[in-house]
Amino acid sequence: MTEIQPIDRTRVVRAPNRAVFNRQTVYAILDDGLLCYLSFVADGSPHIIPTLHWREGDSLYIHGLTASRAIHSSSDGSEVCVMVSHLDGLVLARSAFHHSVNYRSVAIYGSPAIVADDRKEAALRAMVERITPGRWAELRPVNDQELKAPTVLELPINEASAKVRTSAPIDDPEDMDWPVWAGNVPFEMVRGVPVPDSAMDPAIKLPEYLRTR
Amino acid sequence: MTEIQPIDRTRVVRAPNRAVFNRQTVYAILDDGLLCYLSFVADGSPHIIPTLHWREGDSLYIHGLTASRAIHSSSDGSEVCVMVSHLDGLVLARSAFHHSVNYRSVAIYGSPAIVADDRKEAALRAMVERITPGRWAELRPVNDQELKAPTVLELPINEASAKVRTSAPIDDPEDMDWPVWAGNVPFEMVRGVPVPDSAMDPAIKLPEYLRTR
């Protein structure tokens, strides 16, 4: 896959050695997250909305009811910044100064388009299928009224950059013998045991897509 | 504790029944997260930076090197929106339309101040102590040079609102017998087993603050 060309906005100023413009890395970070943070300007103020995202090819899709309204009714324009990030761990060094965090994050800039009505059902199906493969066909089919409500935003992944830190603590050489525990404390988002709705027929088994991670 | 008064910016338009302005709820959501998302406007564009936050009293503190520079050197002003949110689970309904997410999120608006040099060490100590209580005293002490580098932002929690969803799927009455698994799929951020730095003296034991969650 190609590299994404850095432009001024995505050029990483702080810790540029952690910047990644490789599409494969950027896409893996996006695909590994359920939740994105969408920021936009309305009435001169910055706003953030957390929402669900998914990717198809070189586009990021965003489930964006509230955001769509705010963005497209704003006189400040429809430009957004979308962030997907994973906190992978705390990095505990011998000095406070060298404490850090292991993480993977992607920022994407651009002006999202609203997915047209004739493509909306396919987009929502893709969202459901990415999280729970096979579920769409099991559901009570969507009707026209329901399809009107949600808005889906499509943002081409052109202006994007990733930042990644994965290593052990990096202390000053003279601190290496300081008698304190140093190392990495990993964090992970894990799926717990699914809880069936109390109103559900208990004969319905847990589907395959909820048995594996 | 008092209620936070909604103003136009924090008034929740989408799903207002999920809005919470109670300080106790807002603070619990903030305290339960390590990572916040800080958005600001620079050169007319929205930007997001993920960073660490902590709270003391009615102020949110943000470890904000990159952000501080961007915010305070921007001609767009120093206003920010900070978001802390937790994805607690997926809510799988009988119809695609009623699928949802259980979450807790807080948005705070305001103009952060840069914490003055004479308060910076105490602020950084509070950050370390909140994550790893007792660790600050064990570390190689910070020196003046190191104290200059990081910037800490302080944001008073005046304009803030929380949104919370915690329930089971809410389907249309006529769909309740649709033969599909319905319920909640919990998600949780968990801490893994700490990994000591390979250069550390193996005689150093895992500290108490890393044994419990």
Q: Using one digit for the tens of pLDDT, what is the confidence trace for B104-138?
A: 999 999 999 999 999 999 999 999 999 999 999 99
Query: In chain B, what residues touch A75 (CB-CB under 8 Å)?
Result: none
Checking if the pLDDT of A13 tops 60, the result is no
Length of chain A: 213
Q: How confident is the model at residue B8 (pLDDT cuts 50, 70, 90)?
A: low
Checking if the pLDDT of B50 tops 80, the result is yes
Q: Averaged over A107-118, what is the pLDDT?
A: 94
B102 part of contact set with chain A, CB < 8 Å: no
Q: Residue A96: which CATH number?
A: 2.30.110.10
**Among the listed residues A187, A171, A180, the one whose alpha carbon sits nearest the alpha carbon of residue B207:** A180
The count of domains in chain A is: 1
Residue B9, in any domain of the structure: no
**E-assigned strands of A64-158?**
80-92, 100-110, 113-114, 152-156
A149 part of contact set with chain B, CB < 8 Å: yes
At B43 the pLDDT is 84
Q: How confident is the model at residue A213 (pLDDT cuts 50, 70, 90)?
A: low
Q: Are A178 and B140 in contact (CB under 8 A)?
A: yes
Checking if the pLDDT of A120 tops 60, the result is yes
Q: Averaged over B61-89, what is the pLDDT?
A: 85
What percent of chain A is predicted at pLDDT more than 90?
78
Indicate the average pLDDT of chain B.
91
Which range marks the domain in which residue A115 is found? 16-185+195-210
Q: Rounded to an integer, what distance in angstroms lies between the CA atom of residue A170 and that of residue A154?
A: 40
Residue B8, in any domain of the structure: no
Residue A5, in any domain of the structure: no
Residue A1, in any domain of the structure: no
Contact A181 B66 (CB under 8 A): no
Q: Averaged over A45-73, what is the pLDDT?
A: 87
Query: In chain B, what residues touch A76 (CB-CB under 8 Å)?
Result: 44
pLDDT digits (tens, 9 = 90+) for A134-192: 999 999 999 999 998 889 999 999 999 999 999 999 999 999 999 999 999 999 999 99
At B71 the pLDDT is 75
Checking if the pLDDT of A97 tops 80, the result is yes
Residue B4, in any domain of the structure: no
Checking if the pLDDT of A94 tops 70, the result is yes
Measured in angstroms, the CA of A142 and the nearest CA of chain B are apart by 7
Residue B67, in any domain of the structure: yes
Query: B12's torsion region: left (phi>0), alpha (psi -120 to 50) or beta?
Result: beta
Checking if the pLDDT of A7 tops 90, the result is no
Residue B7, in any domain of the structure: no
Q: For B180, which of A139, A150, A191 is closest by C-beta distance?
A: A139
Q: Rounded to an integer, what distance in angstroms lies between the CA atom of residue B81 and that of residue B67?
A: 12
Looking at per-residue confidence, does A71 or A121 come out higher? A121
Residue B117, in any domain of the structure: yes
Whether the predicted interface score ipTM is above 0.85 = yes
Q: How confident is the model at residue A20 (pLDDT cuts 50, 70, 90)?
A: confident
Q: How confident is the model at residue B153 (pLDDT cuts 50, 70, 90)?
A: very high
